[in-house]
A and B are shown apart, each in its own frame.
Chain A
């Protein structure tokens, strides 16, 4: 399991739901996601692939669907993801066998 999938599991998805969601995301057919989620996912793709092409109109669509604060949250988080991936790719950091994020949330004994 990749880290993004581990985080989706921690976010509350069970195995089947997680697999279904990832398969849908991978297909590029996002018609079953609500419009506000699609707005975030499409923005994530554009800001990651071609950040210099992001226009005011892209931000306006995102804001119209999420509201101003959550649009800013989304932008920050997408940028954050772009940091994490560069380190992972540069060093080809091996993935852990277990969900280390779930473990982080267990109470301390």
Chain B
């Protein structure tokens, strides 16, 4: 006969097993403790020992450099944006709301209150949109649309935002939307919940300056072999076809025509600064590129928002050092993302 004691022992074992897998019940992936995560990020110069957000502790399990770069990015977005803090928090909240991300909404509300706003005001945003001053309304509308259907944003719409906010701030507004579309997906995929004593304040980190090495030395240095867990021996079957009527409704030829139209486009919706102007204002902590940047995406973002862009691309650099995905496979995922969004990119 099963006694109460047996039931209690079974439940305790179940809880222990769950924690061994996920570290915290509020995530779908393994999560380190603060102490474990900081140990993995020994290269970070900061007030060590601060409480880390759960998504950072999840990344730190196998991507510690990327996790550290994400702490910096989060700090740059939340503390160093050129936007007024109240507006910035509202924009972030609207994006999180559109992405249905409760974690990010809680953090945006926290930042709004920290900046002097009232929690009830930000919670009422969807109902208040029409009553807001035009300068706020068009910025919030742009961010919402960038989350829900970015391809529907028009030249006139961006021109309106630029007219009121200027080019620099318009880029900052778009970068809030871009960051939200990155972070919310990460939070939703990892299935994290707000920390029991969260939300937390952003953490200022710094990294040792990279030592410039001769290219020949870099070539000789091999990337250390990464230890990874193998796939399952008998993984579940995966569908062979994508079940999405919208996807098949747009033919390959129609996609090509859109791309050709984009190639023919001569100008972006804001002026793209040239390399000399961009180089002059790169943040001092950023490794200086050997060659001029020619990618227009990078020139635009660095040109108007060097700090936010350096923090973002610092994340990519760290990720490239740590991950070892097959290049054709991971760029194919990028292709799928662009197609899913009907983005020309």
Which chain A residue shows the least CB distance to B327?
A11
When chains A and B are docked, how far (Å) is the Cα of A82 from the Cα of B180? Answer: 9
* B76 CB-CB contact with A under 8 Å: no
Cβ–Cβ < 8 Å partners of B294 in chain A? 96, 100, 103-104
Looking at A51, A59, A67, A87, the one whose CB has the most chain B CB atoms below 10 A away is A87
When chains A and B are docked, how far (Å) is the Cα of A7 from the Cα of B181? Answer: 21
Q: Is the CB of A78 within 8 A of B297?
A: no
Out of A31, A44, A49, A103, which one reaches B333, CB within 8 Å? Answer: A44
* B29 CB-CB contact with A under 8 Å: yes
Q: Is the CB of A47 within 8 A of B185?
A: yes
**Interface set, chain B 178-202, CB cutoff 8 A to A:** 178-179, 181-186, 188-191
Q: Is the CB of B327 within 8 A of A12?
A: yes
Stretch of B45-53, B86-94, B113-121, B148-156 with 4 or more beta carbons under 8 angstroms from chain A: B148-156
Q: Is the CB of A44 within 8 A of B340?
A: yes
Tell me whether A91 and B300 are in contact in the complex, defined as CB-CB below 8 angstroms, given that A25-B335, A83-B182 are known contacts.
yes
Q: How far is the CB of A68 from chain B (nearest CB, A)?
A: 5
Out of A11, A67, A70, A85, which one reaches B150, CB within 8 Å? Answer: A85
Which chain A residue shows the least CB distance to B289?
A104
* B337 CB-CB contact with A under 8 Å: yes
Cβ–Cβ < 8 Å partners of A31 in chain B? 240-241
When chains A and B are docked, how far (Å) is the Cα of A31 from the Cα of B237? Answer: 12
Q: How far is the CB of A86 from chain B (nearest CB, A)?
A: 4
Tell me whether A82 and B185 are in contact in the complex, defined as CB-CB below 8 angstroms, given that A4-B335, A48-B337, A74-B325 are known contacts.
yes
Tell me whether A37 and B215 are in contact in the complex, defined as CB-CB below 8 angstroms, given that A83-B182, A84-B345, A101-B295 are known contacts.
no
**Interface set, chain B 294-334, CB cutoff 8 A to A:** 294-297, 300-301, 312, 315-316, 319, 323-325, 327-334
Out of B150, B184, B331, which one reaches A89, CB within 8 Å? Answer: B150
Which chain B residue shows the least CB distance to A18?
B328
Q: How many A-B residue pairs have CB under 8 A?
A: 297
Looking at A3, A63, A88, A95, the one whose CB has the most chain B CB atoms below 10 A away is A88
* A92 CB-CB contact with B under 8 Å: yes
Q: Is the CB of A90 within 8 A of B269?
A: yes
Q: Is the CB of B189 within 8 A of A79?
A: yes
Cβ–Cβ < 8 Å partners of A83 in chain B? 178-179, 181-182, 312
Q: How far is the CB of B33 from chain A (nearest CB, A)?
A: 18
When chains A and B are docked, how far (Å) is the Cα of A46 from the Cα of B147? Answer: 15
Cβ–Cβ < 8 Å partners of B332 in chain A? 8, 21, 25, 37, 40-41
Q: Is the CB of B146 within 8 A of A47?
A: no
Q: Is the CB of A89 within 8 A of B186?
A: no
* B228 CB-CB contact with A under 8 Å: yes
Out of B142, B185, B240, which one reaches A51, CB within 8 Å? Answer: B185
Q: For chain B, which range describes its interface: under 10, 10 to 19, 20 to 34, or 35 or more residues?
A: 35 or more
Q: How far is the CB of B156 from chain A (nearest CB, A)?
A: 12
Q: Is the CB of B270 within 8 A of A91?
A: yes
Cβ–Cβ < 8 Å partners of A36 in chain B? 231, 235
Cβ–Cβ < 8 Å partners of A40 in chain B? 329-330, 332-333
What are 17 of the A-B contact pairs (CB < 8 Å)? Answer: A2-B259, A4-B331, A11-B328, A25-B335, A28-B242, A29-B241, A31-B240, A41-B333, A44-B337, A47-B185, A48-B341, A61-B235, A69-B62, A73-B62, A86-B178, A94-B263, A101-B295
Since A68-B62, A83-B312 are in contact, a sample of 13 more A-B pairs with Cβ atoms closer than 8 Å, ordered by chain A residue number, is A5-B335, A25-B339, A29-B241, A35-B235, A38-B239, A41-B242, A51-B100, A68-B30, A80-B182, A80-B316, A87-B174, A90-B146, A91-B268
The 5 A-B pairs of least Cβ separation, nearest first, read A11-B327, A89-B150, A31-B240, A64-B235, A52-B100
Q: Chain B interface (Cβ within 8 Å of chain A)?
A: 28-30, 58-59, 61-63, 66, 99-101, 142, 146-147, 150-151, 153, 155, 158, 171, 174-175, 177-179, 181-186, 188-191, 215, 226, 228-232, 235-242, 244, 247-248, 252, 255, 259, 262-263, 265-270, 272, 290-291, 294-297, 300-301, 312, 315-316, 319, 323-325, 327-341, 343-345
Q: Chain A interface (Cβ within 8 Å of chain B)?
A: 1-5, 7-8, 10-13, 21-23, 25-31, 35-42, 44-45, 47-49, 51-52, 54, 56, 59, 61, 63-70, 72-97, 100-101, 103-104, 107-108
